[in-house]
Amino acid sequence: MRSRSIITLVVIVACITLFVPESWCQDFNVEWRSVFGAEGSDVGSFVQPTVDGGYVFVGTTDSFGAGETDAWLVKTDMYGNEEWSRTFGGEFADMGKSVRQTSDGGYIITGATRSFGAGKRDVWLIKTDMYGNEEWSRTFGGPEWEYGRSVEQTDDGGYIIAGYTNSFGVGSSYNIWLIKTNAGGALQWQKTFGGRWKDYGYSVQQTTDGGYIVTGETSSFGSGDYDIWLIKTDAQGNMEWENTFGGIGVDRGRDGIQTADGGYIVTGYTTSFGAGLEDAWLIKTDAQGNMEWENTFGGSEVDRGRIVMQTPEGGYIFGGYTASFGSGFDDMWVVRTDMNGNRIWSWTFGKEYYMDRVTSVIQTDDRGLVVLGQSRLIGTHDYDVQIMKLKAGR
C-alpha cells in the first residue's frame, strides 16, 4: 500500500476569495476542508452524514487496495478528519459509487466489479458493519457489462439498486436495471427498462407509497439523441408511468428525488436548451411526472448538474461543475433556488489549471453544506478527493 497524503485545513475563507461573480454570492465560509489521496487517481462519488455527527463517503482508488482500482469507503469525524478507511476489491478494476448508512449503524455500498461475479463487469453490493468491515457482498450480472450507480435501504430492511445492464433486457445495448434484495442481499426481483438503444439509470429513491422513482437517460425514447428519463414504479418494480424530457440535442439525467408536495425534482444537463454548450438543467414535476417548471443554469461553456436536494424551506440545491464561471478549467459549483427554480445564490470553488467537480452535496443541521468533489491538474489523470464543510454566514 502506497503512502497517503491527507491535508486537513481548518480555515475561515470568505466566499469572495472562492467565487468569480456569476450572480449573487452566498456568504459561505469554508469551515474545514480535507483532501484524501496519494500518487494514484482517487475519486469520491457520494457522501452521507452518519448518526454520530460525522460523514462517510464512497469512491474508487488506485492508490490503495489490492488491484487495478478498488472501491473505497472513508469515515470522518464532524471536522473531516479521517477515522478509518477500507478498500474492497480483487485483482481487476472495482468501483464504489453510492453509500448509505443502514438501520443497524453499518453501511451499504453499490458499484461495479470486474474481479468477482459472472461477467465482464457486475453490479456489486457490499454490506459492512459500523467500522467498515465487510459483512457480506453480492454480485448481480450476466455475461456482459453491468454497473450499480445508486443504492438505498428500503422500508422492509432490504435494498434497492439502480444501474444498467448489457446482459438483460431488450435491444443490443444497455437497459436501466432495477434490483431489489432482502436484508441479506439475496435477490427478490429485478426489472429492466429500455429499448433498442442505450438507456442508463443513475439514481433511485423509495417513494412515500412504497414504490420507486428512477432517474436516468434514454436514447431509445424521447425527442433527441438522449433525453432525461424519469420512471415511477410500484413496490414490485412494475412501471406505473414514465416521462422523457429533452429536445433535439443531448439531455442527460443524473439525480432525482421526491419532493414534499409529492412531485419530483430532477437535475442533469442539456444541450437542447440554455445559454451555452451544456447547461445544468433543473426540472420540477407533479406526482405523475408532468413538468411543472424547468430552468437552465450556465454560461457559454460546459456546466452540469450532478445531484439535487430539497431544502427545509421548500427550495432546491444542486451541485455539479461549471466551466463558465469560477477560476479554473472546471470549478465545483453549488446553486440554490427558490421553490420555483429561480436562482438565489451560486458558489464556486476551484484553482487555475485544475479540474474541480462536485460529485455529492448534503445540507447540514446548521444550514451549512458538506460538499464532496474531486480535483486534478490539467494534463494529468490523477484525481484527489476533496470534502469540505461550508458554513452559512447568514
Percent of the chain with pLDDT over 70: 92
Q: Is residue 16 predicted with pLDDT exceeding 70?
A: no
Q: Across residues 291-301, what is the average pLDDT?
A: 97
Percent of the chain beyond pLDDT 90?
Answer: 84
Q: What's the grid cell of residue 49?
A: 452524514
**Least confident segment among 120-124, 328-332, 334-338, 339-343:** 328-332
pLDDT band (50, 70, 90) for residue 15 = very low
Mean pLDDT of 99-108: 99
> What's the pLDDT tens digit per position in 227-238?
999 999 999 999
For residue 21, pLDDT over 80 is answered with no
Query: Tell me, what's the pLDDT at 12?
Result: 33
> Is the confidence at residue 17, as pLDDT, over 80?
no
Specify the pLDDT at position 393.
Answer: 54
CA angle, 84 then 46 then 166, to 5°:
120
Instruction: Give the model's pLDDT for residue 187.
Output: 99
In which band, very low, low, confident or very high, does the pLDDT at 24 lie, cut at 50, 70 and 90?
Answer: very low
Closest CA to 81 of 186, 25, 172, 10: 10
Q: How confident is the model at residue 394 (pLDDT cuts 50, 70, 90)?
A: very low
Nearest to 186, CA basis, from 205, 159, 155: 159
The answer to whether residue 5 scores a pLDDT higher than 80 is no
Question: In terms of pLDDT, which residue wins out, 380 or 146?
Answer: 146
Q: Looking at residue 321, what is its pLDDT?
A: 96
User: Domains of the chain: which residue ranges?
Assistant: 5-392
Q: Report pLDDT for 380.
A: 81
Bridge-based pairing of strands 239-245 and 187-193 is unpaired
Q: What is the mean pLDDT of residues 196-209?
A: 98
Please tell me the least confidently modeled range out of 104-118, 290-304, 367-381.
367-381
> Is residue 95 predicted with pLDDT exceeding 80?
yes
Range name among 1-5, 58-62, 252-256, 279-283 with the lowest pLDDT average: 1-5
Q: Report the pLDDT value the prediction gives residue 276, as an integer from 0 to 100.
A: 87
Q: Which residues pair with 100 in a beta bridge?
A: 108
**Euclidean distance between CA atoms 136 and 74, whole angstroms:** 18
Provide the whole-model pTM. 0.93
Class of the 5-392 domain?
A: mainly beta
Q: Which of 24-33, 85-94, 151-160 has the lowest mean pLDDT?
A: 24-33
Q: Does the pLDDT at position 331 exceed 60?
A: yes
Mean pLDDT of 129-146: 98
Residue 25 has pLDDT above 80, yes or no: no
The chain-wide mean pLDDT, for the chain, equals 92
Q: What is the pLDDT of residue 353?
A: 79
Supply 291's cell numbers: 413538468
pLDDT, residue 391, reads: 87
